[in-house]
Structures are given as structure tokens and as C-alpha cells.
Amino acid sequence: MSSEYTVTETLDVKGESCPMPVVKTKGAIDGLSEGDVLEVLATDSGSMSDIAGWAETTDGVELLDQEDGGDVFSHYVRKTE
């Protein structure tokens, strides 16, 4: 995780498979305020491309970082509007 942002909330979607990490990420982001950062923890390796693609095509969110921890994939998404 970068020191350039502070995690506001963590969403644990470990054990969930496509499309649930993205569906639950969208739901969690909708409940945050502008500028908040959501940390998403997933075990589905497909979440790396799925969440990146969702963030790229969704207004109001910015993908800050992704980390491949081997067993757990971490995603950091900021709500921008």
C-alpha cells in the first residue's frame, strides 16, 4: 500500500468468484464519500483484470494500486465524485 493515500474502508471478498468482487466493490464504493479509498481483498486472480477494467470504464472511481500477494490480491480504489 502506498503512503500517498489512506484506506477509509476495507472490503473482504476472499472466497468470492467473478463477478462478485466487482459487484461488491461497486456497492461499497457507492456508500463512500468523495475522496474515500476502498481496499478490496480478494482471492480470485481474475479480480486483477476485472476490477481494473471496471474502474477504467466507471465514472467516479480511480484505481490507485493493485498488489498481487500470491494468495490474496489487494485493490485500492478512490471514489472521485
In the chain, pLDDT over 90 holds for what percent of residues?
94
pLDDT at 61 over 60: yes
pLDDT at 52 over 60: yes
pLDDT of residue 19: 94
- Which element (helix H / strand E) includes 70? none
* N- to C-terminal Cα separation, the chain: 22
Fold of 9-79: Translation Initiation Factor IF3 (3.30.110)
**Residue 2 CB neighbour total at 10 angstroms:** 10
Q: Where are the domains of the chain?
A: 9-79
Q: Could you give the residue numbers annotated as active site?
A: 18
pLDDT class of 3 with cuts at 50, 70, 90: low
DSSP codes, 15-61: T--TTHHHHHHHHHHHTSPTT-EEEEEE--TTHHHHHHHHHHHSTTE
